[in-house]
Amino acid sequence: MNRNLLVTALIAAAAFGASFAASAQTSAANTTQRDVNQEQRIENGLQNGTITTRENAELQRDEAHVDKLQAKDMKNGPMTAAEKAQLTAAQNKTSRDIHTATSNGINGNPLSASSQRAQADTQRNIDQQKRINQGVRSGSLTNHEAAGLERGQSNVDKREARAGANGNVSAGEQRRIARADNRQSARIYNKKHNAQVKG
């Protein structure tokens, strides 16, 4: 009788653990997908001229803050309700700031060299965030690994924010951002292809 109770308890614990892990994975997948969506909105604004290079820099500062929160919240596994609420609030602020930038009547020249550089950098953000999101969804990235990668994205976003703060992204600044992006890309590849998987 005791043995049957023990087996039942172990099965229940395993099921709870699997459900808990799935919930954590869904949370991480949702927040990293929102990163992709926000960066795509910024890119669209740069391409159609409704977001200037300077506004992009301010929005990348917002994105850096979001990525830093994700890094902190995901590094120890599932996010708490308070962490989710704080992260959602930060992402909502970014969303509002994107809307303001695209609708305030201040337009940039999407064909300028500076805007073209900002567009290329933002497209790279989209690509990197998609790779992180895909890794979280597939289980090839643990939450801890995704946290480290979001910390890396935060650093890239900060570089972009600094570069465009004066309204112009120079060729030299873009080269430095590209080097940081290349390092981040290699980290994403390595984390997705190591032996660690979600359990």
The pTM (predicted TM-score) of the whole model is 0.85
Average pLDDT in the 78-106 region?
95
Written as six digits, the tokens of 168 are 């112009």
What does pLDDT average to over the chain?
A: 90
User: What pLDDT shows up at residue 12?
Assistant: 53
Q: What is the rounded distance in angstroms from the CA atom of residue 94 to the CA atom of residue 117? A: 21
Q: Is 7 exposed, middle or buried (0-12, 13-18, 19+ CB in 10 A)?
A: exposed
Average pLDDT in the 86-107 region?
97
Q: What is the rounded distance in angstroms from the CA atom of residue 22 to the CA atom of residue 189? A: 23
